[in-house]
Amino acid sequence: MEKQTIIKKLVDERGVEDLVVVIGAVDPEVAQVTAETVTLGDPSFAGPLAGVSLRLPVYHILESEVKNDIPQDVYEEQAGFMEIVADTETISRKFKEIREKITQV
Amino acid sequence: MPDPIIKTCSYILAHAPNFVRYGSKPMREIADDPDAVLPSIESHLRTFQEAVAYAPNQVYIGNLHPDRLNDMEQPWYGHPLEGASRCGPYGESMPEDELLALMKLADDFDLVWLDKETAPILSGALRSNPLWKDSDLKKVDAGMERGRIDERIQHHGSLPLYRDGRVVGCVHRHHEQDDTLKAHVLMENLLAKTSGALALTHLLNNAKLRPDEIDFILNCSEEAVGDRYNRGGGGLAKAIGEMCGCAHATGCDIKAFCVGPLYAILHAAALVKAGLFQRVAVVGGGSMAKLGMKFKGHVSKGMPILEDVLGGLAFLVTGNDGESPIIRLDSIGRHDIGSGSSQQSIMESLVLKPLDKLGKKVTEVDKYATELQNPEVTVPAGSGNVPLTNYRMIGALGVLRKELKREEIDRFVMDHGMPGFSPTQGHIPAAVPFLGHAIDAIRKGEMENAMFIARGSLFLGRMTQLSDGLSFLLEKNPGKA
């Protein structure tokens, strides 16, 4: 809920251009719900993004598109452990689907 | 002096469908839109038989081993267990009629009124329970005129108690201006006391101990008993002990969010090891606030509301009996204030540091018990599979230490973990629901050891950004010297 508030504030202040959301949740289901909330709107209709479809591009920190843009040593230190923990294949698949859904809306 | 042991345990569930409306989340949502939300909640509640036959609940009271859930088709609520019993080796599932009667029995301040017509039905139900049949239930039998109950609800801030869709009693506030003594808070506290007393009664029964043989009680429930000058002041340990007849015990409450039960066991072990007390009972009652916490996710997916039970547990910590599993006090894993808050550093503190002290590999612990929330409750609400993530993190620690290959993590999770089965009652899922199964398996020689790991979100109280955690290893007793 607090994160929804922060993202809504950022969008209100800066607009949706040049804004990308990077999700870090390691559980694929949690990551998916979080990603859908900041792109398609709050499915629980409880937070600041209820009925607000920002259609922001969304990536997961463990996707190769993000990993390749971060210095290897920094990535290893900050995300290396979670990369071993997470089911990165499922996460990548779910996030690609969400990005495709945004372009179709 | 040898390390203390956990001699026995108890686990209880109290089916409380008519209290779901008073859970924190349902209550707020009902206030926003009563006409839509309340009927939606009521139409998704389970019967007592459905709650009993729910496989995770059978695991909790000890009728099934957690690993059996791996073989059961999901959703578990769609595959009820035939012939499931409300009783198990660790305790029982109590129906709501008995819970209401027991709640009145727990009431020392005439906070609960039951109507004259219903009270005898409820006390009759409790009399049918072997553990309470000899109790003095005059207080429950008495009952009150319905008109007086209605008047209190309409004009004095009392909250109605429901049964079969009608009001059968109420809970009063006990001070006109004190929010800590309003009806909702007192109801919450009274249910923690009631379910805690039920757990302690089963513990005494399982341990074959007289109540006066307990000399110290540590309560680790999630409630805030107190008044306007001392919110959360405490005293539930002795309230529960008094209700169970533990006349020769003293005690106090331990608070540490979800790590509460492990801190309580640690304190119990320290008191026994120091020789200050001989038999220490750790007890935790249920949390009404958590009832229906994820109901929106359940309702939106056409599921029954699975958070319809209060959980309770109790453990008996004593000096070494030469048989029961020991708490290795040299294995305590701590999350120090300066430990750092990344998932990796927390798990290193709680898992690797203790293993290093003991000279063990990650794979040399037979079973890890982490937060054991039932994923069928949390996943539909977008909160993920908490135990699975924790087990994968422990496996990842093994990979970093080159004790496991990455492709072996799934196997590690299956062998050294277990599916979550605990009701999402805050402190209750924090590793300790597996203690009973671990004690049994270690006694039978099926396991050598198990590590219990709990983490807490101290930041929720807004006083610090810190997380918390504690762990210990339970190990086969080496036997009498």
**Could you give the CA distance from residue B316 to residue B428 in angstroms, rounded to a whole number?**
16
**Which residue of chain A is at minimal alpha-carbon distance from B394?**
A85
- The separation between the first and the last C-alpha atoms of chain B, rounded to the nearest angstrom, is 11
A-chain residues near B406 (CB < 8 A): 84
B-chain residues near A84 (CB < 8 A): 396, 399-400, 406, 409
**Could you give the CA distance from residue B218 to residue B114 in angstroms, rounded to a whole number?**
31
* Chain B nearest C-alpha distance from A49 (Å): 16
Tell me if B480 sits within 8 A of B375, measured CB to CB: no
**Which residue of chain B is at minimal alpha-carbon distance from A77?**
B344
How do strand B250-253 and strand B216-219 relate by DSSP bridges?
parallel
**Could you give the CA distance from residue B412 to residue B409 in angstroms, rounded to a whole number?**
5
Q: Which 3 state secondary structure label does DSSP give B463? A: coil
- Percent of chain B scoring above 70 in pLDDT: 100
Using the beta-carbon criterion (under 8 Å), do B343 and A29 form an inter-chain contact?
A: no
- The minimal CB distance from A27 to the residues B342, B389, B409 is found for B389
Is residue B277 predicted with pLDDT exceeding 80?
A: yes
Which tens digit of pLDDT belongs to each residue from B54-84? 999 999 999 999 999 999 999 999 999 999 9
Is ipTM > 0.90 here? no
**Could you give the CA distance from residue B310 to residue B60 in angstroms, rounded to a whole number?**
12
Which tens digit of pLDDT belongs to each residue from B193-244? 999 999 999 999 999 999 999 999 999 999 999 999 999 999 999 999 999 9
Q: In tens digits, what is the pLDDT along chain A, a chain of 105 residues?
A: 677 788 888 888 888 888 889 999 999 989 998 888 887 776 665 666 666 677 888 999 999 999 999 999 999 988 999 999 999 999 999 999 999 887 775
Give the residue carrying structure tokens 């599916």: B419
Give the residue carrying structure tokens 């993004």: A49
Beta bridge partners of B333: B471
In total, the C-beta contacts within 8 angstroms joining chain A to chain B are 42
Query: Cα separations (Å) of B254 from A3, B112, B259, B268?
Result: 32, 27, 10, 11
Which tens digit of pLDDT belongs to each residue from B433-455? 999 999 999 999 999 999 999 99
Instruction: Name the CATH architecture for the domain at B326-475.
Output: 3-Layer(aba) Sandwich (3.40)
pLDDT of residue A50: 65
Using the beta-carbon criterion (under 8 Å), do B396 and A85 form an inter-chain contact?
A: yes
**Nearby residues of B347 by Cβ (< 8 Å), 6 or more positions away:** B393, B394, B397
Flag whether residue B393 sits within 8 Å of chain A, measured between CB atoms: yes
| DSSP code at position A68 | T
Q: What are the residue ranges of helices labelled H in B325-407?
A: 343-347, 353-358, 375-378, 386-400
Using the beta-carbon criterion (under 8 Å), do B406 and A84 form an inter-chain contact?
A: yes
Tell me if B3 sits within 8 A of B269, measured CB to CB: yes
